[in-house]
């Protein structure tokens, strides 16, 4: 799979996103939150720096959700039984998504505040 053409690699990435959408309710939920954030940003019309912060926050949350999904897939394949260390790894990966989501919510709140106080 190494050194494939860009178009092929793009297809692999799109396939991964598609599978995450199909398999993971959490990913679908995060995408919907992201779309809501985009809609709110369009309605509020904040400065470009705020719009960029929102876009980066959305991208970070979705990227971490994809990584969390990938980690869970590998762990479940290699070690399908329940074990304390496996649970811990999954919980930590989910925690990373939660931290990014809280950060994204803070960015959104600050953006709204900046528009209101403008």
Alpha-carbon gap, residue 105 to 7, rounded angstroms: 34
| Residue 65 annotated among the catalytic residues of the structure | yes
Nearest to 15 by CA among 70, 55, 61, 57: 70
Count the neighbouring beta carbons within 10 Å of the beta carbon of residue 108: 21
Q: Supply 18's token pair.
A: 């598609």
CB 107 within 8 A of CB 54: yes
Name the catalytic one among 24, 65, 72, 81. 65
Catalytic residues: 65
């Amino acid at each position: 799979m190494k050194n494939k053409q860009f178009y092929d690699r793009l297809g692999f990435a799109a396939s991964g996103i598609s599978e995450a959408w199909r398999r993971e309710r959490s990913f679908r939920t995060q995408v919907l939150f992201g779309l809501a954030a985009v809609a709110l940003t369009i309605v509020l019309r904040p400065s470009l720096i705020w719009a960029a912060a929102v876009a980066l926050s959305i991208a970070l949350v979705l990227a971490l959700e994809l990584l969390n999904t990938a980690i869970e897939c590998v762990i479940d394949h290699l070690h399908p039984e329940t074990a304390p260390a496996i649970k811990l790894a999954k919980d930590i990966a989910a925690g990373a998504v939660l931290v990014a989501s809280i950060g994204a919510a803070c960015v959104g709140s600050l953006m709204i505040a900046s528009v209101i106080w403008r």
